[in-house]
Amino acid sequence: QVQVVESGGGLVQEGGSLRLSCTASGLTSDDATMGWFRQLPGKEREGVACVSGSGGGTAYTDSVMGRFTISRDNAKKAVYLQMNKLTPEDTAMYYCASSVYPYCGAYWRAGHNFAFWGQGTQVTISS
């Protein structure tokens, strides 16, 4: 049984930083493609960052480019999202997910290729 668990959310002031962590247990491979997504109530889910299982290539949505960094530690089966220069627009529930494909692909932001999802961790940025 696959279990994805996020942690590290919280309340920070604008301009601050947070580091989200995600662990995935029960996966058949240690290098599954992993992604971070976020969602506000009543809004569509948004792909934030993705790291490919094969080769470790990364992809980001435009609004976080240069501020967020996704990384992974295959030995720990963990994925991280370092978030810097946070703004109130980054406030959302953040979800970690594992894909069944070895690469992020061109349409990773939609999340359709991600089969296993965590429960989410809340990130709130105050102005």
pLDDT tens, 19-32? 999 999 888 777 78
Does residue 96 surpass a pLDDT of 90? yes
Rounded to whole angstroms, how far apart are CA atoms 67 and 21? Answer: 16
The position carrying tokens 């105050």 is 126
40-67 pLDDT tens trace: 888 999 999 999 987 889 999 999 999 9
Q: Which of 93, 97, 92 is nearest to 22 (CA)?
A: 97
Phi, psi (degrees; rounded to nearest 5) at 20 = -90, 145
